[in-house]
Amino acid sequence: MKFFVDTADVGDIRELAATGLLDGVTTNPSLIAKSGRDFIEVISEICEIVPGPVSAEVAAMEADAMIVEGRKLAAIADNVAVKLPLTMDGLKACRTISEDGTSVNVTLCFSPAQALLAAKAGADYISPFVGRLDDIGQNGMHLIDDIRTIYDNYPDLGGTQILVASIRSPAHVVEAAKLGADVCTIPPSVIKQLVQHPLTDKGLDGFMKDWAKTGQSI
């Protein structure tokens, strides 16, 4: 499974890219606003740091305007994936932009039917938001399971990858991997949580104390 980081914070992206664990980046208007920086400048800088896909979202709501904005974003760098909303206009724009040869990430997916439509429209990635479904009392992972089943039933859909979004905890990542999701886009804080375990810390502390008793160095 691929790991994308869900942030527009260039410092966090540089830190995580240095680990070799990072396969791509997703951004959205909220994350860009939080950065306080120029949108095009941020996307360009991220694309230089990470060779994998960098999702950049359009702001337009109408298909023709989405296509114009999407092509402008695609011109920033070869690894830009244009991010489009899962609306009828977004699906129309998805078809055109994907036929241009540009990678498309269709976002804000909350149902299997929406995921099926995105695949038929030519999306490279579909972004189901599991955390937001959990927030309203539904099980977001059931959506991932349903999408995986549908996509596996119809390989001729074009290989749309399931990009699990709105991840809130390491448990979401593990469940997504068990269900066969292709990608998880994860906040920096949760990526760091993945490495943590109290028994690892306890074991390392014991090893270090025993090593100190030997008086040796390497």
What is residue 64's predicted lDDT score, i.e. its pLDDT? 98
Phi, psi of 47 (to 5 degrees): -65, -25
The yes-or-no verdict on residue 36 having pLDDT over 80 is yes
Residue with tokens 């909220």: 30
The yes-or-no verdict on residue 42 having pLDDT over 80 is yes
The yes-or-no verdict on residue 158 having pLDDT over 90 is no
The yes-or-no verdict on residue 164 having pLDDT over 80 is yes
Q: Name the average pLDDT for the chain.
A: 97
Count other C-beta atoms under 10 Å from residue 168's C-beta.
Answer: 16
- What is the pTM for the complete model shown? 0.94
CA atoms within 13 A on the CB side of 163: 31
> Per-residue pLDDT tens for 134-154?
999 999 999 999 999 999 999
What is residue 105's predicted lDDT score, i.e. its pLDDT? 98
Instruction: Show which residues are catalytic.
Output: 83
The yes-or-no verdict on residue 157 having pLDDT over 90 is no
The domain ranges of the chain are 2-207
d(Cα 67, Cα 83) in Å, to the nearest integer?
11
Three-class SS of 76-99: CCCCEEEEEECCHHHHHHHHHHHH
> Per-residue pLDDT tens for 60-106?
999 999 999 999 999 999 999 999 999 999 999 999 999 999 999 99
Q: Residue count of the chain, please give it.
A: 218
Structure tokens at 159: 């290989």
CATH number of the 2-207 domain: 3.20.20.70
CB 80 within 8 A of CB 54: yes
Residue with tokens 């596996």: 152
Residue range 4-22: mean pLDDT, rounded: 96
